[in-house]
Structure 1
Amino acid sequence: MSGGALAPGAGAIAGAGATVGAGALAHGGLVFSNTIQNGMDNIQQMQSSGGGRVQPVGNMSEFFKSKFGKKLKDCSNKTSKMVDGQSVYTVTEKTNIPGLKKGDQFYLDGLHKDHIEVFDKRGNIKDVLNLDGTSNPQKFKNAMGRTIK
């Protein structure tokens, strides 16, 4: 076999491979298209709910009714400490909430009421969490250096 000739039956196999490849390409294009559409849907959902901004809560009681708030309420107690008019809470038991552990302290931001500021047991800033439990690096950067006494 020379000159690039195919063995008998090989043409059928090569043709089938090309057909499967075209089908996979079409499927890949469909998956890619759906991914873009899902991303656009998510953006539209965020924009329709306030431009992607977290909806603030009135107080901790209101926050504790949310999904993430219930998790925090179940593993914490209110302390006698106050910061900017907001009650400070302490994590009193081991928790599966990422970034939080027993002894950590937290309170609802008094100005915007759209995030939770988290401090370690020594009172040093540890993290800033959105009301859904996700970390907020920008607000954490702004909070650097804050402490609770």
Structure 2
Amino acid sequence: MTTAQAIMQPDVVSITVRDTMETAARRMRQLDIGALPICDGEGHPVGIVTDRDIVVKCIATGANPHATTAGEMAQGEDLHTVEIGTDINAALALMERHRIRRLPVTEAGKLVGIITEADLSRHLPDATVGEFVEAICVQHLPASTDKGAQ
């Protein structure tokens, strides 16, 4: 059985609920990544902030990225995680069901890694990855109205 531990990135970098969106953006730029898990003071993941969140939910709404905290951004979001020993098929099914592109991995509730689309593409068969991408992107694709293409 392949587990989440075998697929995950163990060197995951996170931010705290008290870090600002400016801090998150700077860390993403330094690490050349597009998302950071948000953890409470004890290392438990409570959310994820993406570069898109910073632009769309913070800057575009007129919020101040120097003052808006990760904790504020994480409020009201359902965060899905898996334990380190979870079978990868169960993790993949969770990601597909909830259209999740990044899945935090925990051990005893604390963040120990993250599974991303890139991790899946490196470790799973192409057909499985293709099905995953189709499943999470299907609602974002424009509906075809071309009757001649049928």
> Would the TM-score normalized by the shorter structure come out above 0.5?
no
Structure of greater relative contact order (alpha carbons < 8 Å, 6+ residues apart): 2
Task: Give 1 or 2: higher helix fraction.
Answer: 2
TM tier relative to shorter chain: under 0.3
